[in-house]
Amino acid sequence: MSSLPPSQDTANRRTRFAAFQSRDFRLLWIGVFISGIGTQMQFVAINYQVYDMSQSPVALGAVGLFRVIPIIAFSLFAGLVADAVDRRRLLFVTQIFMMAVAAALAFLTATGAVTVWMVYLLTMLGAAAVAFDNPARQSLIPNLVPREHFANAASLNTIAWQGANIIGPAAAGLIIGRLGLATVYWINAASFVAVLVALLLMRTRVPAGGAQTVSFGALKEGLRFVFSTPIIRSTMFLDFVATFFGAAQQLLPIFAQALGVGAEGLGILYSATAIGAVVASVVISFIHQLRRQGPLLLVSVGIYGLATIVYGLSRNFWLTFAALAVTGAADIVSTVIRQTVRQLATPDRLRGRMVSVNMIFFMGGPQLGELEAGVLAGVVGTPLSVAIGGLACVACVLGVGYLSQTLRHYDDERSLDRPPEPAPEPTPAPAPSASPASD
């Protein structure tokens, strides 16, 4: 029983869950949580299926390559679209497209017609939808909650996503072993209904961003802002190099096989990072304000690299589980800091473009890193490949910390070293046949 007076205890709970005061944020949070469970189930199923069909670490690592190609190809354009159209409508389209990809995987697997290259192709199509989905969804959230509640919203979103990371992989391991891969894909297809319903029930009028047209001038404006803002630039670079060298979860099926734990053990190992992340997210939600965010970011990424070394060298199931949990906890601390800093440092009309550039770093790093880990594993062996990646991650943290004075001394929003917001460049008037993007 709480020792605080009822009014103070209630006020504390409201502070911890302040973003939930927004009805539309609650709806989106629930939808993303349910859909996230299906997405994580499918992630495990694809990795399991590719390795089962190929028995090749390189083929398994290539899944990351086929995920990142559409991200690199479409992200910048997707950010422009997210700043020029109704973000809620764009989300509706992307969710339906990803539902269709999951249904196609389910059908091909159930009929026995699936091949590794079919999985690669559908992975690319799903990633193309994600390239448009992420800028729209992340840019939508500041429209649903007051500015002072955004950090809380970021923390709650992290809890939802990482909670899905716990439930999804564990459920996938059970279902793959008992009901088969196709069932996992069907469940993921159905999970997208939760987000679609949330979008339909929203009442908040979501305006389009500030890009009046999808143009090269608008793209240049967004790129100029991102790369001329030191705190955004340095956090994006740190994110990329750390995840490129430290990303190795794609190789978990190989570790599970070496440890002799089967599909169910694989699901538990996939859940470990999310368990660590949720614990860290809950702890962060009790802290009113994280101070000395720059040094804390560097330390958390360094711990991520050290834990990755332990994960690679471990020969014990529970030590591997613990190391993965630590990587999840460290990663979530850095994620909450990075998301809060970037979103609050970016004007609303530029958020879609900022998120799209960030997505290349945030998703490109781990996906290319999974390929690097798979190729290196084929040369020096899987454990040594992961350990080398963790060591390189630590070295990159030391390098970025030494070179970036802005990041090394960053404390709170008042210390943002951000140039004045650039005025939007004039864009040519559209041709008579063109129609401007609607709100």
- Residue by residue, DSSP assigns 26-65 as HHHHHHHHHHHHHHHHHHHHHHHHHHHHH--HHHHHHHHH
DSSP-H helix ranges across 179-229: 181-201, 216-227
Q: What is the pLDDT of residue 97?
A: 95
The residue that leads in pLDDT, 179 or 138, is 179
The residue that leads in pLDDT, 412 or 342, is 342
Q: What is the pLDDT of residue 23?
A: 86
The residue that leads in pLDDT, 152 or 23, is 23
Place of tokens 């991650």: 393
> pLDDT confidence of 11, banded at 50, 70, 90?
very low
The residue that leads in pLDDT, 437 or 267, is 267
User: By the 8 A CB rule, do 251 and 60 touch?
Assistant: yes
Q: pLDDT tens across 280-339, in order?
A: 877 776 665 566 777 888 888 889 889 989 988 888 889 989 999 998 888 888 877 777
Share of the chain above pLDDT 70, in %: 77
CA distance 124 to 169: 21
Average pLDDT, the chain: 77
Lowest mean pLDDT among 47-51, 375-379, 387-391: 375-379
Q: What is the pLDDT of residue 322?
A: 92
Q: What is the pLDDT of residue 425?
A: 40
> pLDDT confidence of 434, banded at 50, 70, 90?
very low
Query: Who's near 284: CB < 8 A, 6+ residues apart?
Result: 155, 290, 332, 333, 336
CA distance 393 to 308: 9
Burial class (CB in 10 A: 0-12, 13-18, 19+), 14: exposed
pLDDT at 102 over 80: yes
Lowest mean pLDDT among 111-120, 172-181, 198-207: 198-207
